[in-house]
Amino acid sequence: MKVTFKIKRYNPEIPGKDKPYWEEFTLDNVEPTDRLLEMLHRIKWEQDGTLTLRRSCAHGVCGSDAMRINGVNHLACKVLMQDLGSKVTIEPILGLPVLKDLVVDMEPFFDHYKHVMPFFVNDTPLPADGRERRQSQFDREAFDDTTKCILCACCTTSCPSYWANGKYVGPAAIVNAHRFIFDTRDQAAKERLEILSEPQGVWRCRTIYNCTPACPRDIQVTKAISEVKLAIRKGSPEGIIKVTEIVERVVNA
Amino acid sequence: MKIHKHEVIIVGAGGAGLMAALYASRGGADVAVVSKLYPTRSHTGTAQGGIGAALGNLDEDQPIYHAYDTVKGGDYLADQNAALVLAEGAVEAVIELEHMGLPFDRTPDGRISQRRFGGHTREFGKELVRRACHAADRTGHMILQTLYQNCIKRNVNFFDEFQVVDTIINDGVCVGVVAIQIGTGEFHIFHGKAVMFASGGWGRCWSVSSNAHSMTGDGAAAVLRRGVPLQDMEFFQFHPTGIYKMGILITEGVRGEGGVLINNKGERFMEKYAPSAKDLASRDVVSRAIYDEVKKGNGIKGKDYVYLDVRPETVNRFFAEEGRKERIDAAYVEKKLPDILDFCRTYLGVDPVKEPMPIQPTAHYAMGGIPTNVDAQVVIDENWTVLPGMYAAGETACVSCHGANRLGTNSLVDLIVFGRRGGMHMADYVKGVDWTPLPADAGHEIESEFKRIRSSRGKMKPYQLRAKMQEVMMENVGVYRTEKTMTEAINVLRELRHEFRTNIAIDDQGYKFNTDLMEAWELGNLLELAEVTALSARNRTESRGGHSRDDYPKRDDENWLVHTLVCRAGTDDDPQYTINTAKKVDMSLAETDERFRPKVRAY
């Protein structure tokens, strides 16, 4: 099939192209099962080498190629042409400064991530036998969903609260805080909950729900945010994630 | 040119680089990590099935069994001292990862969960053992995330999206690297006392590949151009189960959970090729079996692929036939292999719980690379002479613990064991040495080379040359090779190099995020590595592990228990390669233990 791509472009180095503008490209022989990323490569390689985007693994794991595709955030390598139709609009993700074409400045995004203490804290003595700390399958399951995050920014840059206020830490940072807050081995939940109860923390979330369908890893982002909100209200992560729900997930496994 | 000075410079932010950064930093060194990608984009994150360590959480296990499997899996080309260091170091390193917060799956008693994986056995081949420690089928993702998190915790310096393009060696000492800041196009010099290359493999030399687009061997090519040899380049692993045509990896963990390979007659054909381990034989064995089946006309619909079947009814039928008690259901497969199911549903429209997956061997992993000793120091000849200040770890290095064929999970083990050892060694090393100054003209040569490429106004686009290289490597230097196919490949690669040097077209003349230019540069690296791969392969007149020749189908222990070292001299337009095979394989375990002597490799 023949597909037209309308791509939002910007090149700070070329006069006349140093303001965002739209450009159209057409490709023939597009197969329904082609990945969008391959099509962007075809445009770059066959038609215009200046088209600029990030990409690496090409199968939805590295998180490099988040973009706004027909108005919705996706990874270009995880979208098939059959799901896009014959006219496709592509823009950089919103809410982060555009550097060139589809490449945005990721530094503010990673700064928010680093702000929530996204690392394991446990200063108690290690097990005397020199082995691993034990953790039950139930406790491990409680935070499984949020361990899947690849930091692609699809969620954060789909969030209207984040668009309105770039100081809000955003869904991805909260997801990564959740991963530690609900890990029974970790001991810094209190500090993280304090950080997230700051004015630019979790209460900026208005439960608009854009983040959850945007996640290419199918993380229940909004749910994770609500669990963090509940933990702040309660002053502790204990008992927030329903035992019955985890039991169901573990028994199913 | 901006100059940055840090005691330890690490090139690459995957598993090996981050592990080294962490341990060098813990050892008191001032560390900078220079990476062309944001660290969490690194290819380590795509590793799926598990990391091998003889924890013995589910089956009785010992590091010496792991070392044995590694040596046998490597078709006796692995240096046995390195295989032992790998196996012994794995236990401690995996436990440390857990202490750093890595969310491994758990056993019912709360220990790290382990699964079966190809070639991993207990008691020297007696039976398959559960050794692969895993976090669902995203173990590499969890390792990468955990290491990056811990580097943030320690305030390690990161230079993200800085691509290293040259190595600086002064008076026989490695003193730094030159990198381009991708966002600005500016050149930077990183001056260090110790420099580690942890920059990954070059799987993009082949057309069907499991590798990320960024796996272009930048580090290996950069040191080769500066006279450092590369070792055992003829050994490149083809993973048996890549998604048909796309090459996306389907973890061996699928077969670890009971999945089987099926040909067009519905036969579980691995029973013929590896009566004992069957579908969990070493990867080289399984990849060859698939090629052989296709050659016999047993590919699905007569084509060049077979099925990987993990439907519960299929798995349970074979469990029953083998007298195994366990049974699986759809929910179990969903839980254990969520990413695999997602890939197949997304890219193939195939639901592996209901249908078999079409697969073919896919270029996957470089066993060869920059030669090092077990402390990750680069060694440049058969006498193990150290190049002061230069280190390498991970896929880009060749220690050589994998020999002629790497076992599943051992790539992750390699990263953390030798990344860790290298990091510790560098921390000590930098305390004891003075700064070697940079040469006066540091960085000038590479800057003018980039000026030349940027102004290329030829007719060929880099992607056209790349596609030709990938095709010829796939056809001629793939799972099976002969003198004739390799000579053909070398000739084609020489022509492509000539085109690349004289006739390419670069569209983007800018400096900021010029990915057009960087892709061309990466193609140059791939062409260099493809050629030394073909040359090393043609020189080795035997079949061993991942190097299978139709014209020399037998392993030749009399003449070939040696490593290949390939060196480059001459110019970029007319490089001269020399091959040296004087470096003997370390057989230290075999000296006291009969079981480590080379013998016929059966699974």
**Which pLDDT score is estimated for A188?**
98
Judged by DSSP in three states, A84 sits in coil
Q: Is 90 exceeded by the pLDDT of residue A244?
A: no
Last residue of a domain, one of A88, A104, A120: A104
**Which pLDDT score is estimated for B602?**
87
* Among B residues 177-206, those touching chain A with beta carbons less than 8 Å apart: 183
With CB atoms and an 8 Å threshold, state whether A56 touches B104: no
Residue found under tokens 């006066």 = B440
**Are the C-beta atoms of residues B545 and B368 closer than 8 Å to each other?**
no
Can you give the CATH number for the domain in which A34 is found?
A: 3.10.20.30
Can you give the CATH number for the domain in which A195 is found?
A: 1.10.1060.10
Minimum distance, in Å, between the CA of residue A139 and any CA atom of chain B: 9
Residue found under tokens 């151009």 = B225
A25 & A93 share domain: yes
Mean pLDDT computed over A33-46? 97
A171 & A120 share domain: yes
Q: Spell out which residues of chain B touch residue A115, defining contact as CB-CB under 8 Å.
A: none
Q: For B147-157, write each residue's pLDDT tens digit.
A: 999 999 999 99
Q: Spell out which residues of chain B touch residue A44, defining contact as CB-CB under 8 Å.
A: 515-516
Last residue of a domain, one of A104, A132, A159: A104
**Which pLDDT score is estimated for A248?**
67
Mean pLDDT computed over B200-212? 97
Instruction: Report percent pLDDT > 70 for chain A.
Output: 96
ipTM of the complex: 0.97
**Are the C-beta atoms of residues B22 and B154 closer than 8 Å to each other?**
yes
Judged by DSSP in three states, B505 sits in strand
A160 & A62 share domain: no
Asked if B346 reaches chain A (Cβ–Cβ under 8 Å), the answer is yes
Asked if B96 reaches chain A (Cβ–Cβ under 8 Å), the answer is no
A100 & A144 share domain: no
**Are the C-beta atoms of residues B99 and A133 closer than 8 Å to each other?**
yes
The phi, psi pair for A251, rounded to 5°, reads -65, -35
Q: Give the helix/strand (H/E) hosting B339.
A: helix B338-343
> Which of A80, A132, A251 is the mutation pick for testing B, counting most B CBs within 10 A?
A132
Q: Spell out which residues of chain A touch residue B136, defining contact as CB-CB under 8 Å.
A: 144
Q: What is the DSSP letter of B464?
A: H
Question: Could you tell me which of A54, A62, A67, A63 has the C-alpha nearest to residue A5?
Answer: A67
A115 & A207 share domain: yes
Judged by DSSP in three states, B57 sits in coil
Minimum distance, in Å, between the CA of residue A179 and any CA atom of chain B: 10
Where in the sequence numbering do the catalytic residues of B fall? 283
A123 & A65 share domain: no
**Which pLDDT score is estimated for A251?**
59
Provide the number of CB pairs (under 8 Å) joining chain A to chain B.
164
**Which pLDDT score is estimated for A252?**
54
The total number of residues written for chain A in this structure: 253
Write the residue in A64, A106, A135 that is nearest to B110 by C-beta: A135
**Which pLDDT score is estimated for B267?**
97
Mean pLDDT computed over B219-235? 98
A117 & A207 share domain: yes
Averaged pLDDT score across all residues of chain B: 97
**Which pLDDT score is estimated for B184?**
98
Averaged pLDDT score across all residues of chain A: 95
Q: For B109-141, write each residue's pLDDT tens digit.
A: 999 999 999 999 999 999 999 999 999 999 999
Instruction: Report percent pLDDT > 90 for chain A.
Output: 94
A60 & A120 share domain: no
A9 & A48 share domain: yes
Tell me the one-letter amino acid at A121.
V
| Confidence grade of residue B49 (pLDDT, cut at 50, 70, 90) | confident
Q: Is 80 exceeded by the pLDDT of residue B202?
A: yes
Q: For A3-28, write each residue's pLDDT tens digit.
A: 999 999 999 999 999 999 999 999 99
> Which of A10, A47, A61 is the mutation pick for testing B, counting most B CBs within 10 A?
A61
**Which pLDDT score is estimated for A242?**
76
A219 & A159 share domain: yes
Residues in CB range of B592: below 8 A, 6 or more apart = none
Q: For A212-221, write each residue's pLDDT tens digit.
A: 999 999 999 9
Other Cβ atoms closer than 10 A to A32: 11
Looking at the structure of chain A, the number of domains it has is 2
Residues in CB range of A163: below 8 A, 6 or more apart = A94, A95, A157
Q: For B4-14, write each residue's pLDDT tens digit.
A: 999 999 999 99
Q: Is 70 exceeded by the pLDDT of residue A71?
A: yes
**Which pair of structure tokens corresponds to residue B574?**
């007319």
Query: How far is B34 from B199, CA to CA, in rounded Å?
Result: 10
Q: For A144-194, write each residue's pLDDT tens digit.
A: 999 999 999 999 999 999 999 999 999 999 999 999 999 999 999 999 999
Closest residue in chain A to residue B339, using alpha carbons only: A217
Query: How far is B138 from B392, CA to CA, in rounded Å?
Result: 25
The DSSP bridge partners found for residue A24 are A6
**Which pLDDT score is estimated for A249?**
65
**Are the C-beta atoms of residues A225 and A174 closer than 8 Å to each other?**
yes
Last residue of a domain, one of A71, A104, A137: A104
Instruction: Report percent pLDDT > 90 for chain B.
Output: 97
Question: Could you tell me which of B430, B507, B231, B405 has the C-alpha nearest to residue A44?
Answer: B507
The DSSP bridge partners found for residue B159 are B34
Q: Is 70 exceeded by the pLDDT of residue B103?
A: yes
Domains of chain B, start order: 2-235+367-432 (3.50.50.60), 240-360 (3.90.700.10), 444-563 (1.20.58.100)
Query: How far is A33 from A81, CA to CA, in rounded Å?
Result: 6
Q: Spell out which residues of chain A touch residue B25, defining contact as CB-CB under 8 Å.
A: none
Query: How far is A190 from A120, CA to CA, in rounded Å?
Result: 13
**Which pair of structure tokens corresponds to residue B213?**
């687009």
With CB atoms and an 8 Å threshold, state whether A50 touches B510: yes
> Which of A119, A148, A219, A246 is the mutation pick for testing B, counting most B CBs within 10 A?
A119
Between strands B260-262 and B236-243, the pairing is unpaired
**Which pLDDT score is estimated for B527?**
98
**Which pLDDT score is estimated for A34?**
94
Mean pLDDT computed over B578-588? 98
* A248 against B570, higher pLDDT: B570
> Which of B36, B40, B104, B153 is the mutation pick for testing A, counting most A CBs within 10 A?
B40
Report the alpha-carbon angle B527-B394-B338, nearest 5. 100
Query: How far is A25 from B117, CA to CA, in rounded Å?
Result: 46
The total number of residues written for chain B in this structure: 603
**Which pair of structure tokens corresponds to residue A200?**
């630019």
Q: Give the helix/strand (H/E) hosting B177.
A: strand B173-181
**Which pLDDT score is estimated for A250?**
61
Q: Is 90 exceeded by the pLDDT of residue A246?
A: no
**Which pLDDT score is estimated for B54?**
98
Q: Spell out which residues of chain A touch residue B37, defining contact as CB-CB under 8 Å.
A: 56, 62, 64
Q: Spell out which residues of chain A touch residue B330, defining contact as CB-CB under 8 Å.
A: none
Q: What is the DSSP letter of B478?
A: S
| Confidence grade of residue B399 (pLDDT, cut at 50, 70, 90) | very high
Asked if B343 reaches chain A (Cβ–Cβ under 8 Å), the answer is yes
* Among B residues 351-390, those touching chain A with beta carbons less than 8 Å apart: none
**Which pair of structure tokens corresponds to residue B504?**
């390419």
Query: How far is B464 from B56, CA to CA, in rounded Å?
Result: 50
The phi, psi pair for A238, rounded to 5°, reads -65, 135
Query: How far is B580 from B203, CA to CA, in rounded Å?
Result: 24
Cα–Cα distances (Å) from B145 to A85, A119, A188, B103, B461, in that order, read 36, 9, 18, 10, 36
Minimum distance, in Å, between the CA of residue B374 and any CA atom of chain A: 24
**Which pLDDT score is estimated for B195?**
98
The phi, psi pair for B311, rounded to 5°, reads -65, 135
With CB atoms and an 8 Å threshold, state whether B42 touches A62: yes
Q: Spell out which residues of chain A touch residue B349, defining contact as CB-CB under 8 Å.
A: 33
Closest residue in chain A to residue B342, using alpha carbons only: A217
Q: Is 70 exceeded by the pLDDT of residue B390?
A: yes
Cα–Cα distances (Å) from A15 to A12, A99, A105, B395, B409, in that order, read 8, 15, 21, 43, 51
A117 & A228 share domain: yes
A245 & A138 share domain: yes
With CB atoms and an 8 Å threshold, state whether A60 touches B346: yes
Report the alpha-carbon angle B189-B194-B196, nearest 5. 85
Other Cβ atoms closer than 10 A to A170: 27
Between strands B377-379 and B386-392, the pairing is antiparallel
Question: Could you tell me which of B170, B242, B259, B167 has the C-alpha nearest to residue B446?
Answer: B167
Q: For B464-476, write each residue's pLDDT tens digit.
A: 999 999 999 999 9
Question: Could you tell me which of B107, B128, B113 has the C-alpha nearest to residue B51?
Answer: B113
Q: Spell out which residues of chain A touch residue B504, defining contact as CB-CB under 8 Å.
A: none
Query: How far is B596 from B75, CA to CA, in rounded Å?
Result: 11
* Range in A235-239, B409-413, B469-473 the model is least confident about: A235-239
Between strands A87-91 and B157-160, the pairing is unpaired
Domain that includes residue A119, residue range = 107-252
With CB atoms and an 8 Å threshold, state whether A45 touches B461: yes
**Which pLDDT score is estimated for A116?**
98
